[in-house]
Amino acid sequence: MSDRLTSRPNLALGSLAPALAELRARATMHVTEVIAALLAVCRAEEAFISREKALAAHFYPAADLDARLHRLLRERARERWPAAVLTALADELAASAPPLPGALVAFFAARWLERQFRALIVPYFRGVDREVAPGEPWPIVDSPAAHYPRPTGNPASRGRAADRGEWLTLAPASTAGLRVRLRWLGPHLPVVRAGTRIAIASLSRDPLADFTFDRLAPDGAPRFYGVRPVASDFGARVHAALAHARAAHATIAILPELALTDAEHAALLADPALAELPLVVLGSRHVARPADTDLPGRNVATLCAYGRVVAEHAKMSDYFLRDGGVHRYEHIAPGDTVEVLLSERLSLAMVVCKDLLRADWQNLIAQLAPRLLLVPAMSVEYADFLSFAERLARDPQAHTVVANAGPVQAIVGRPTREDPVIVADRQVGRCVIYEVGATFTTDHPLSSN
């Protein structure tokens, strides 16, 4: 059905009609639910809105709609609206179509409501801990670009999907075969502000020399598992790097992929010193497989807040290495979930190494718009990390932090015009310290170039 201007009101409403019916039927709705209902119309009418939203003929009708909403909705601190307000809102939206097509009524109204009630959007998600289906409301916290003197431009200036606002969008229609979870972790996530320090552990420049693995052949298929360090001083490197992070007063620390064995992971969790770090990614590890079986294991990254495990991520991607002319795949059961952790001031996602390289997963992560992406990795090649970190720095204006076992140990993407992606290499057993709003620092006692 076309949303072109028409004198027939039922046709002018078009796909807006179901949203108006929901407003009139509900006894109460949170403002976030109201905006999401309008964004669902925007998603359904994406092509039409993209063509029509900037036409001069819609300028004054859109301004009139803003004025109608301003007169109606004066209580900006009210989170939930009763039936009388919802019905009045539905009437005002209907009265604007025509002259505006219904799809544009939804588009302009969603933008106005989001701007006026933005302080109420993220708190709507307090306590959430569940899988989110495509089309459900999805929060976006404030951009960290404001921490930089010359931030990257607002992605809205380059154009964005009609269902994507500044502080609210809808869960992507396609999740690239993955489950998407949202979990409120407000008490455990730090506030990332200008001056916040992130410690990126430098543990290995040459993973082929520093690590070994078990060669397996389940059902005759060449596989590898049980990656573990063989360098005699590797455990000392881990402890020295974490000590360096504490001495540098880092808020966030991250170790590379497969930096620990199961036993070393357990020992670190039992170490009281770990509780001195507000947030730390303990790299990842190959967890123990069931004994005397060919069952695959898992490559799991662990996130700790003040020494307490608050989240885990199972590596999703398949990976193989060339071993004597044989393609030997990592013997893991791939994870199937991307989880975004949320507080009022931060949204955080954690993935492992090659999880970051698939184009459809990159698109999914970008649409979920975490403001901080933490990536433990082990790779001698890192060009794809650089390109995706720059993409996220520009849209959605995120920090990406990669702790890598390889020739470059630290990769940081940040939403600034000058050098949106920077890399560093440091002496093993130390950390590369990144300061939000600035760059890598060397002004702390244990720093080493």
pLDDT surpasses 80 at 396: yes
Radius of gyration of the chain (CA): 25
**Integer Cα distance of 259 and 220 in angstroms:** 28
Domain-embedded: residue 78: yes
Domain-embedded: residue 64: yes
The burial class, CB within 10 Å (0-12 / 13-18 / 19+), for 344 is: middle
% of the chain exceeding 90 in pLDDT: 87
Domain-embedded: residue 178: no
List of residues 6+ apart from 1 with CB closer than 8 A: 11, 14, 15
| Higher local confidence (pLDDT), 291 or 105 | 105
- Which residues face 225 on adjacent strands? 214
At 125-139, the pLDDT tens digits run 999 999 999 999 999
At 140-168, the pLDDT tens digits run 999 999 999 999 987 777 778 899 999 99
Q: Are 403 and 377 in contact (CB under 8 A)?
A: yes
pLDDT surpasses 50 at 117: yes
Closest CA to 98 of 51, 55, 61: 61
Give me 171's structure tokens. Answer: 């869960």
Q: Are 441 and 447 in contact (CB under 8 A)?
A: yes
Residue type, 31: V
Domain-embedded: residue 164: no
Mean pLDDT in the chain? 93
Q: Which domain holds residue 35?
A: 1-120
pLDDT surpasses 50 at 448: no
C-alpha distances out from residue 203 to 75, 268, 405, Å = 54, 16, 7
**Integer Cα distance of 110 and 102 in angstroms:** 12
Domain-embedded: residue 12: yes
Closest CA to 43 of 191, 160, 159: 160
At 187-206, the pLDDT tens digits run 899 999 999 999 999 999 99
292 shares its domain with 435: yes
List of residues 6+ apart from 70 with CB closer than 8 A: none
C-alpha distances out from residue 223 to 207, 292, 318, 319, 331, Å = 18, 16, 11, 10, 5
Return the CATH number at 379. Answer: 3.60.110.10
C-alpha distances out from residue 59 to 11, 69, 163, Å = 21, 16, 20
**Integer Cα distance of 206 and 190 in angstroms:** 33
Give me 260's structure tokens. Answer: 């620990």
Model-level pTM? 0.93
96 shares its domain with 188: no
206 shares its domain with 100: no
- Domain termination residue (choose one: 120, 137, 170): 120
Domain-embedded: residue 339: yes
Q: How confident is the model at residue 385 (pLDDT cuts 50, 70, 90)?
A: very high
Q: What pLDDT does 12 receive? A: 59
At 167-185, the pLDDT tens digits run 999 999 999 999 999 999 9
**Integer Cα distance of 18 and 38 in angstroms:** 10
Q: Are 250 and 217 in contact (CB under 8 A)?
A: no
Domain count, the chain: 2
**Integer Cα distance of 201 and 375 in angstroms:** 12
List of residues 6+ apart from 182 with CB closer than 8 A: 125, 128, 129, 130, 132, 138, 139, 339, 340, 342
208 shares its domain with 102: no
